[in-house]
């Protein structure tokens, strides 16, 4: 058996479905009990795009190329970026091939690993990269052994050998990363990769994986570019994806939003899934749609098009698919920042950020989201502030895909670092010097935050219960308490020598809580200047910048 384009497509869809079914399992494989359990979400949203190839039939090289392109643009988080780069490497190996034999597939898996590995700044043993490496090595050994008489030479046996080797490598990840062993989990990304291989093997055996949740199937397959606008009387084609807040988790919880769409527009497509809402409507009031939508959670993506300015369906499809808007430079420097919470977004706008991408923990923007924001920034040079370690790689990936602007990704890992970089910016110096000054500003600020543990575990010998509050200093756990206020007080003990402290109050806190917050800090650090703002960010009652 050789691998052709149709079979590869079926294997990718089966793999995407397998990953979708295991999404929550992967999310729960957290090394630390902080709410960044989004590996399953990121990998699923990256691979789910394979369904968009629409029952592909054609050469293997074309299928692999299209798969790599859609995955790259949909990539979210480090795990999604690594996965998309793996498929990019495979597509390079399959270039020009109508079909592939076992040697070609082994080469493609090696190229996939190499492409992903070289993109990671500090590769660590015991992660998805290790599992990919062992998978590629097993494929090469299989091909070498196939030269001997009586050895297996079929495609199914090759993939079974790769799956077995990957499972063994995954089981060893806790021995390579002590933090995994301490938390009693294997590497989440590696588990996701093994799940993908299981989906591929199932398709090879003509028993492909199907989605267990059919509403997910609707979400994955929806293609809004196919709508006919010839007879539509409403001006704006409005689409968005909402990641649900805890209050609306579960299927069919957004009936009022669905009702509104039916009242103010037509051509409604509405998916009310466990964790997300995906909607499409033709309306004259897109603002009403978005205002209602944010009541149910956070906007992940938004697209609004004036259909009356489109000449035909073909123009609509091609522009939406291939030609994102690019703002002409009106100034030398522009800024794009990733953050969650309207108050934090307002603070970034106040210090000069042009475009805000709503994202952060558990809601990572895709490569395409960042590319679109950069392209819409009317500047020659665009600085991107990821403000999260899990978004940096995707931002770098986006920077490499933008063609019409010069993109500079600043290595910010937190909101306080992003704010400090904006304050350090000088419009009268070179982009290179600005980047150096921003990096110096990052070193000069301490990022603190308070968040809740999402499960019980043990970290560095200390038992942590589900629901306890964690005080983080530059991303590391510093203290564990039973209340957010107590946690803030312990963090305040480290602010004694600070000159300036800025606090963003999270979701559920208001200006009425500002005085109490300031008093807690003032007790420990009486001489510093303190500013308390309502940030509105989810998951973190307090995000704190200390200088």
CATH of the domain at 429: 3.40.50.510
* Domain closes at, from 177, 212, 247: 212
Residues 177 and 147 in one domain: yes
* Domain closes at, from 274, 290, 322: 322
DSSP states of 351-368: TT-SEEEE-BTTBPPBHH
pLDDT band for 495, please (50, 70, 90 cuts): very high
Please report the pLDDT score of residue 309 as a whole number.
53
Residues 436 and 475 in one domain: no
Domain count, the chain: 4
* Res 317 pLDDT > 50: no
Lowest mean pLDDT across 133-147, 304-318, 404-418, 470-484: 304-318
Mean pLDDT to the nearest integer, 414-420: 95
- The model's pLDDT over 151-183, given as tens digits with 9 standing for 90+, comes to 888 999 999 999 999 999 999 999 998 888 887
The residue that leads in pLDDT, 192 or 33, is: 192
pLDDT-above-70 percentage for the chain: 89
* Res 28 pLDDT > 50: yes
pLDDT band for 425, please (50, 70, 90 cuts): very high
Question: What is the C-alpha to C-alpha distance for residues 79 and 492, in angstroms, rounded to an integer?
Answer: 34
* Res 221 pLDDT > 70: no
Residues 381 and 503 in one domain: no
Mean pLDDT to the nearest integer, 482-493: 95
Which structural domain range is residue 481 located in? 455-546
DSSP states of 170-206: HHTHHHH-HHHHHHT---HHHHHHHHHHHHHHHHHTT
CB of 275 within 8 A of CB of 246? no
pLDDT band for 52, please (50, 70, 90 cuts): confident
* Res 101 pLDDT > 60: yes
Residues 74 and 52 in one domain: yes
Cβ–Cβ contacts within 10 Å for residue 327, how many? 17
DSSP states of 126-139: TSHHHHHHHHHHHH
pLDDT band for 230, please (50, 70, 90 cuts): very low
Residues 266 and 281 in one domain: yes
CATH of the domain at 91: 1.25.40.340
What is the Cβ-side half-sphere exposure of residue 205, based on CA atoms within 13 angstroms? 14
Residues 118 and 177 in one domain: yes
* Domain closes at, from 171, 190, 212: 212
pLDDT band for 271, please (50, 70, 90 cuts): low
The residue that leads in pLDDT, 439 or 317, is: 439
The residue that leads in pLDDT, 324 or 54, is: 54
CB of 5 within 8 A of CB of 195? no
Q: Mention every residue, 6+ apart, whose C-beta is less than 8 A from residue 217.
A: 210, 211
Residues 254 and 391 in one domain: no
User: SS3 string of 46-85?
Assistant: HHHHHHHHCCCCCCHHHHHHHHHHHHHHHCEHHHHHHHHH
* Res 442 pLDDT > 60: yes
pLDDT, mean over the chain: 86
The tokens describing 243, both together, are 């990641």
CA distances from 234 to 24, 152, 223, 453, 541 (A): 39, 61, 20, 47, 41
Q: Any idea which residue has 């291939």 for tokens?
A: 322
In terms of DSSP bridges, do strands 379-385 and 331-339 run parallel, antiparallel, or are they unpaired? parallel
Please report the pLDDT score of residue 538 as a whole number.
87
How far does Cα 159 stand from its chain's mean position? 28
The most confident of the ranges 237-246, 255-264, 322-331, 449-458 is 255-264
* Res 542 pLDDT > 80: yes
- The model's pLDDT over 4-22, given as tens digits with 9 standing for 90+, comes to 999 999 999 999 999 999 9
Question: What is the C-alpha to C-alpha distance for residues 196 and 13, in angstroms, rounded to an integer?
Answer: 10
Task: Kindly state whether residue 448 falls inside one of the protein's structural domains.
Answer: no
* Res 225 pLDDT > 70: no
* Res 368 pLDDT > 60: yes
Whole-structure pTM over 0.85, yes or no? no
Please report the pLDDT score of residue 320 as a whole number.
43
Mean pLDDT to the nearest integer, 360-369: 82
* Res 212 pLDDT > 90: no
Using DSSP, state whether 496 is helix, strand or coil: coil
Mean pLDDT to the nearest integer, 412-423: 95
pLDDT band for 360, please (50, 70, 90 cuts): confident
Please report the pLDDT score of residue 269 as a whole number.
60
Residues 136 and 276 in one domain: no
The residue that leads in pLDDT, 128 or 305, is: 128
Task: Kindly state whether residue 449 falls inside one of the protein's structural domains.
Answer: no
In terms of DSSP bridges, do strands 542-546 and 500-505 run parallel, antiparallel, or are they unpaired? antiparallel
Task: Kindly state whether residue 93 falls inside one of the protein's structural domains.
Answer: yes
Residues 105 and 174 in one domain: yes
pLDDT band for 214, please (50, 70, 90 cuts): very low
Residues 519 and 475 in one domain: yes
Residues 460 and 387 in one domain: no
| Helices and strands: H and E segment counts in the chain | 22, 16
Please report the pLDDT score of residue 267 as a whole number.
62
Long-range contacts from 326-332, C-beta under 8 angstroms, 24+ separation? 326/375, 326/376, 326/404, 326/405, 327/375, 327/376, 327/377, 327/378, 328/378, 329/378, 329/379, 329/380, 329/405, 330/378, 330/379, 331/378, 331/379, 331/380, 332/379, 332/380, 332/381, 332/427
Residues 133 and 145 in one domain: yes
Task: Kindly state whether residue 450 falls inside one of the protein's structural domains.
Answer: no
Q: Angle CA(419)–CA(421)–CA(426) in degrees, nearest 5?
A: 125
Question: What is the C-alpha to C-alpha distance for residues 536 and 543, in angstroms, rounded to an integer?
Answer: 10
CB of 442 within 8 A of CB of 420? yes
CB of 288 within 8 A of CB of 338? no
* Res 322 pLDDT > 70: no
């Amino acid at each position: 058996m050789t691998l052709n384009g149709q079979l590869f497509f079926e294997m990718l869809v089966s793999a995407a479905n397998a990953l979708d079914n295991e999404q929550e399992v992967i999310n729960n494989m957290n090394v630390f009990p902080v709410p960044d359990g989004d590996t399953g979400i990121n990998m699923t949203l990256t691979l789910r795009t394979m369904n968009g190839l629409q029952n592909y039939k054609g050469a293997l090289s074309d299928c692999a190329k299209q798969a790599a392109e859609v995955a790259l643009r949909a990539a979210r988080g480090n795990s999604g970026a690594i996965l998309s780069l793996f498929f990019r490497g495979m597509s390079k190996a399959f270039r020009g091939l109508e079909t592939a034999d076992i040697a070609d597939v082994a080469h493609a898996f090696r190229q996939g690993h190499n492409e992903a590995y070289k993109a990671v700044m500090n590769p660590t043993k015991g992660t998805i990269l290790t599992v990919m490496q062992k998978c590629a090595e097993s494929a090469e050994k299989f091909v070498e052994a196939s030269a001997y008489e009586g050895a297996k030479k079929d495609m199914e046996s090759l993939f079974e050998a790769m799956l077995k080797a990957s499972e063994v490598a995954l089981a060893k990840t806790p021995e390579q990363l002590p933090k995994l062993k301490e938390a009693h989990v294997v590497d989440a990304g590696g588990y996701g990769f093994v799940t993908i291989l299981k989906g591929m093997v199932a398709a090879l055996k003509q028993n492909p994986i199907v989605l267990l949740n059919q509403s997910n199937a609707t979400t994955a397959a929806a293609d809004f570019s196919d709508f006919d606008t010839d007879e539509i009387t409403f001006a704006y084609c409005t689409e968005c994806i909402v990641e649900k807040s805890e209050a609306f988790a579960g299927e069919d919880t957004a009936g009022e939003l669905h009702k509104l769409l039916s009242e103010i527009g037509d051509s409604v497509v509405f998916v009310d899934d466990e964790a997300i809402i995906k909607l499409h409507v033709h309306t004259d009031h897109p603002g009403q749609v978005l205002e209602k939508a944010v009541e149910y959670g956070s906007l992940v993506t938004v697209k609004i098009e004036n259909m009356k300015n489109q000449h035909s369906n073909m123009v609509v499809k091609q522009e939406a698919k291939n030609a994102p808007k690019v703002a002409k430079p009106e100034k030398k420097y522009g800024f794009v920042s990733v953050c969650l919470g309207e108050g934090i977004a307002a603070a970034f706008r106040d210090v000069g950020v042009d475009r805000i991408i709503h994202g952060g923990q558990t809601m990572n923007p895709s490569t395409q989201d960042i590319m679109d924001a950069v392209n819409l920034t009317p500047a020659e040079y665009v600085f991107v502030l990821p403000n999260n370690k899990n978004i940096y790689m995707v931002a770098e990936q986006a920077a490499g895909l933008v063609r019409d602007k010069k993109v500079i990704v600043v290595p910010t890992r937190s909101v306080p670092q992003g704010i400090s970089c904006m304050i350090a910016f000088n419009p009268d110096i070179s982009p290179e010097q600005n980047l150096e000054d921003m990096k110096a500003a990052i070193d000069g600020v301490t990022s603190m935050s308070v968040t809740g543990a999402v499960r019980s575990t043990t970290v560095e010998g200390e038992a942590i219960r589900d629901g306890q509050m964690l005080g983080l200093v530059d991303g590391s756990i510093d203290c564990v308490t039973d209340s957010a206020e107590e946690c803030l007080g312990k963090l305040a003990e480290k602010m004694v020598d600070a000159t300036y402290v800025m606090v963003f109050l999270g979701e559920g806190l208001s200006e009425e809580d500002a005085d109490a917050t300031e008093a807690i800090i003032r007790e420990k650090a009486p001489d510093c200047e303190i500013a308390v703002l309502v940030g509105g960010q989810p998951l973190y009652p307090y995000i704190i910048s200390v200088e």
